[in-house]
Every structure is written in C-alpha cells, then in structure tokens.
Structure 1
Amino acid sequence: MQSHRQAQPSNPDAQTCLIIVMGVSGSGKSTLAQALAAHYGYAYLDGDDFHSQEARDRMAQGLPLDDAMRLPWVMRMRDYFSAAANEGKHATLAFSGLKRAHRKELRNAGRKTLFLFLHSDISTIQQRVDNRAGHFMAPSLVSSQFDSLERPVDETDVVDIDVRAPFNEVLQQAIAIIDQQLLGATQIQHA
C-alpha cells in the first residue's frame, strides 16, 4: 500500500464529517463513496443528483458545462450539507470537484471535511467511461473534464489516490486514510 501525505481536514472542530470523493468522470467516485458510506454507516450522496435537468441534458448531448452553469449546482450542495450538519448526519459525497472555487464552497458548509482525489491517466479513464452503461454524461466529455480540472496540489485537506489499482486496494487505502486523518484526531466512532 502506498503512503499518503498527511492531510488536515477542513473545519477540524466540527462535529459532523463529510468525506468527498472527487475526480473526473469515470474515476470511480460513486463506487468508492458508496462503499465508504456502507463501511462507516454514513449517508451517501452523489453530486450528479444536484444537477439541474438542463445541465444533465447538456452533458448528455456531449456539451461540457461552463463555470456559470456549475456554480448553482455547487451552491445547492453547499446549502444541503450546511443544513444537514445541524442534524448531525455524517455523509460521503461523490463530486467531480474540478474547480478549486467549488471545493472551497463545500468547505464553507462547516463540516469536518476530507477530500479523496481519485486520479489516473486519461486513457484509463476514457476506457472506463466507454465501458460504462446508463450514465447521462457522454463519453466524449472525458477530455473536457481533464481540461477543466484544477488539480488540488496545495490544498491541505486533499489526499491523492491512484485508481489504477484494483478496487479493493483503493477502498482499503481510503479507509486507512479516513481512519487516520479524519477520524483519528477526534475518535468519531463508525458503524
């Protein structure tokens, strides 16, 4: 198992945790976020569920979203997580997180937040997207996702995970990171 740099969660004194699994489409965000939610007994949410129908239709046509179209989407997520934090509900979120400003908005929800940045080379991601069925995003948008990605190189609450490894290895890496870097400091118990 590879070692990861130590991350400092956003809002470290918050009582409610948010694990954000981020990366381009096809990196395995939803699969990993669902598995982590099941492991910890947290609620699972998918950022795609917060998109407007107009945005979904646009992506299905192979047209990328611009920043003006993404901002209301991110604000809906931020507002949701801010309100749900008051109820003490821990959560995982599958979210592309392509833009630094969007990641910042989710930090503003006030939860103890850790980002897991799933990454790989473009050919691996393109192959995954080409083989995926039933998703609204057109496979032709993979390169635009890579073009839009502002890598989180100096964000202290982000840990990189290379997703070329088998899924079970990726999951075990993620659990080890969360146990040590998110839950270790406050001993928040999980299911």
Structure 2
Amino acid sequence: MPHPTAISNPDSSTNLIILMGVSGSGKSSIAKALAEHYGYDYLDGDDFHSQESRDRMAQGLPLTDEMRLPWVIRMRDYFRDAARNHQHSTLAFSGLKRVHRDELRKAGTKTIFLFLHSDRSTIQTRVNQRAGHFMAPSLVDSQFDSLEDPSLEADVFEINVQASFDQVLANAIQIIDRELHCQTDALPA
C-alpha cells in the first residue's frame, strides 16, 4: 500500500539506494544494475562483515544482534564519508532489523530502501541454486525469522521479486526516479 514519502535526509545532495531483503532476494544483482544505470558506486553489505562473521555464516550459524551491530556501524560510517564526498551509491544490504535500517539513515545521505521480497519457498530455491556464496542455504529460515517488517517505514518501497529480473529492475528504476528525482538531480553530467 502506498504511503507518504519521507525520504531520509531529504536535503542531502548525496543519494543512497539500499536494496534490502533476505538472502537470495536478488539484492546484489539489482543493486549492481542500478549502480550501472545511474553511474553510482556499488557496494555490498557482505563486504563489511568481519571474517569471523563470514566464517560463522558459512558454518550455518546465524549472526546475533550483537555481531550485526559493528557491521552496520562500519557501513554507516562509510556512507557518512560518502555523503561528505557527494558519492552516490547503491548498497545490497539485508536490513533485517529496524535498528540497523535506522543506523544507515543516520549516515546523512538522501536514502531510499527498496525491499525485495518473496515467499520462503521461492527464496529457498534461489539460495539452493546459488553457487559460491559464503552463507549456508540452511540460514534462509533464520533470515525470515529475523526480518522485522519494514512496510510501514516511509522510505521503504516493496518490490516482489517473483517477476523477471528486467521487470524488478524496471520497477526499481520507476520508484527511484519518482522518489529521488534521479533523472534530473543525481545523474552525472
């Protein structure tokens, strides 16, 4: 259901587009495509994890909230610097907890979250077919269990990922152009 827009930090001159959702929802693929489309920097939240956290997830053990917080703080601090440098970015980030989404809102960038979602069965199938990712497929249930519904947060827009990649990407671009006015404000010259 549509809700009034309240983009985080609307007066910032730097955009941050966050693709959020459980593992396997397509965050990285869509964030990369959007970065290419807009000429933004692409970042993956997974790159901010400590080696200890990566090893834990590879063993099929979910992270605790205490383990996630330093990870989110590293991202927040990175994007604070990006805001000072007027570096527009896309970020693939699970964003499962409201407190973590709120931390990224504190970075000072004009922020929008695109919540990529689907049913557990679809996501589990995608994760099972994925090769070369450090997160064990057995963690899909824990991802859904940890997800705090973002649908009432004004800067979060939902996109169902059961559609084709091209349709999901087109939906994302439509939302971004409407909400961040990227067509005129943020594209490189």
Fold in common (TM above 0.5): yes
Match of 1:155 among 129, 153, 156: 153
The superposition leaves residues 62-104 of structure 1 with CA deviations (integer Å, 9 ceiling, x where unpaired) of: 0000000000000000000001111110000000000000000
Matched residue type, 2:110:
K
Q: Aligned residue for 1:188?
A: 185
Alignment of structure 1 residues 72-151 onto 2, 5 Å: 72-151=70-149
CA contact (8 A) 1:8 1:181 kept: no
Q: What residue ranges of structure 1 are gaps of 5+ in the alignment?
A: none
Tell me how large the CA RMSD over aligned residues is: 1.4
1:68 aligns to 2:71 (yes or no):
no
Of 146-155 and 55-64, more deviation after overlay is shown by: 146-155
Taking the aligned partners of 1:84 and 1:167, their CA distance within structure 2 comes to 28
CA contact (8 A) 2:25 2:117 kept: yes
Q: How many residues align?
A: 188
Matched residue type, 2:152:
D
Taking the aligned partners of 2:174 and 2:10, their CA distance within structure 1 comes to 18
Match of 1:165 among 163, 166, 170: 163
Q: What residue ranges of structure 2 are gaps of 5+ in the alignment?
A: none
CA contact (8 A) 2:151 2:157 kept: no
Q: Aligned residue for 2:8?
A: 10
SS in 1 for 2:16: strand
Shift of 1:9: 1.2
Matched residue type, 1:183:
H
Match of 2:44 among 38, 43, 46: 46
Shift of 1:8: 2.5
CA contact (8 A) 2:127 2:137 kept: yes
The superposition leaves residues 88-143 of structure 1 with CA deviations (integer Å, 9 ceiling, x where unpaired) of: 10000000000000000000000000000000000000000000000000000000
Matched residue type, 1:20:
I
TM-score when scaled to structure 1?
A: 0.95
Shift of 1:189: 3.6
TM-score when scaled to structure 2?
A: 0.96
> Identity over the aligned pairs, expressed in percent?
68
The runs of at least 4 aligned residues of structure 1 exceeding 2 Å deviation read 3-8
1:25 aligns to 2:62 (yes or no):
no
